[in-house]
Amino acid sequence: MEVTITNENFESLKNSGQPLAVDFWAEWCGPCKMISPIISQLAEEFDGKLTVGKCNVEDCEDIAAEYGIRNIPTILFFKDGVIVDKFVGAANKAKLQEKFESIL
């Protein structure tokens, strides 16, 4: 299950010791809506190994600005509190799953 990223919980999730994938999205974004079910499936499949968060760029403008999010969807992958990978745009499940597996 995905976690909703907020300004209040982001730092603790990022530094929790478990890898974190953050999907930056917005309600009006068509490609974001397209990958949303895939992100949900991957969150279930990687449960316990990887935290999957969804960050609405309109609700968390500071986080989006801090990481230079200019295009959505963008997925940032964190390990030990540091960005280790980034994926921009929509993709199929196999491509996203490969990215998720690469940070474990």
* Residue 23 CA neighbour count, 13 Å, CB half: 31
Catalytic residues: 29, 32
Helix pair angle (93-102, 30-45), 10° resolution:
50
Angle at 82 between CA 17 and CA 52, to 5 degrees: 60
